[in-house]
Amino acid sequence: MRSSAIAARLVGDEMMVMSTADSTFFTLSEIATLIWQAADGHTPLSEIVRRKICSEFEVAPEEALRDAEQFVADLSDHGILRVSTHPIREHTTDTA
């Protein structure tokens, strides 16, 4: 799920994201933004990829999931996303 320790805003088709903990600044591509926005703490990554990516872009599900897992791991390393094998119940906001 999305961390609450970030600032984020959509600028055109890219998401600007800054960690409030260490001021690291990122931009997310259109696809990465879709995954990030859908990370609600409940929906599994495989389901997000199927619903948001495979339905919109011409990409094989296995390849899309592999790329998504790498992307999620990168964001998790910077504290932008929290990864869990179980649903996370914490409240999040959808505004960005």
Size of the site for another protein (CB under 8 A): 20
What's the CA dihedral at 27, 29, 34, 36 to 10 degrees? -30
Give CB contacts under 8 A, 24+ apart, made by 58-67: none
* Residue 29 found at the interface with another protein (CB under 8 A): no
- Decide: is 1 part of the binding site for another protein (CB under 8 A): no
User: In one letter, which amino acid is 31?
Assistant: I
66-95: contacts with another protein (CB under 8 A) = 93, 95
Chain positions contacting another protein, by CB under 8 A = 4-12, 14, 16, 18, 20, 23, 25-27, 93, 95-96
